[in-house]
Amino acid sequence: MIRKTLTVSFVAAAMVAIGVVKEAKADVISWTDWTSLGSGILSQNGATIGVGYSGASGTGISSDARRWRESSTPGAYTGSTVIDNAPVDSITQIYAGSNTVTFAQAVIDPVMTFFSIGNGGTGLYLTFDQDFEFLSTGGGNWGNGPLIQTASNVLYGREGNGAIQFLGAVTSISWSANRYESYYGFNVGAAATVVPEPASLALLGVGLAGLGIARRRSRKAA
């Protein structure tokens, strides 16, 4: 019983260590490079993945990195342990209606960043077709209004800036606004690499090796 407990603890320690390694440094994000209003590309684990966008009329694309300027600490977009780098490109001038992003193949744990959701006087609700994790918020190029998650799939902003994440293998993301807005923007991306770091794999290997040794000793003792 003691050997079994020690073995389980050994493996658990290795798994915890993997989590520590993962959380110690944010991921480098491959943000979508929008080559046109309706299409762009990102990369994950060496694969180039096509990204499509369809939405309300009047939208455009921009490569002006000032739209993603962070004016607070922690940063609106890089203030979590998930995102290391802010975007450059953006889909911008979104005024109203429904929007959909599609991926040519499943993307693991994609992230989205938004700037200027709502305005100082009137808030804006964005309702998504799936649940998300709220990552960060803060000051941006046009102000430092609140951005909060009001439900598992609803984001509310009043000149808000920030980042969210969808967990799992995702092939599309859709959302809609509750009113006309002039205007907000977004980009979507994913960790360029999602495999465990070598140190994490080594720790897991040590834990599994310990489990094998304990089992062999247990059989000999029997």
**CB-neighbour burial class of residue 41 (10 A; exposed 0-12, middle 13-18, buried 19+):** middle
Q: Taking the domains of the chain in order of start, what are their residue ranges?
A: 29-191
pLDDT at residue 198, as a whole number: 53
Distance, CA of 29 to CA of 31 (rounded, Å): 6
Two tokens, residue 203: 């720790």
- Cβ pair 186, 53 in contact under 8 A: no
Which residue ranges in the chain fall short of pLDDT 70? Answer: 1-24, 57, 196-222
Distance, CA of 8 to CA of 10 (rounded, Å): 5
Distance, CA of 80 to CA of 164 (rounded, Å): 10
pLDDT at residue 51, as a whole number: 97
Q: Which of these, 190, 30, 169, 53, lies nearest to 106 by C-alpha position?
A: 169
pLDDT at residue 144, as a whole number: 87
CA 136, chain centre distance (Å)? 10
Q: How do residues 75-122 score in pLDDT, each as one tens digit? A: 999 999 999 999 999 999 888 889 999 999 999 999 999 999 998 788
Distance, CA of 16 to CA of 7 (rounded, Å): 14
- Cβ pair 62, 125 in contact under 8 A: no
pLDDT at residue 57, as a whole number: 65
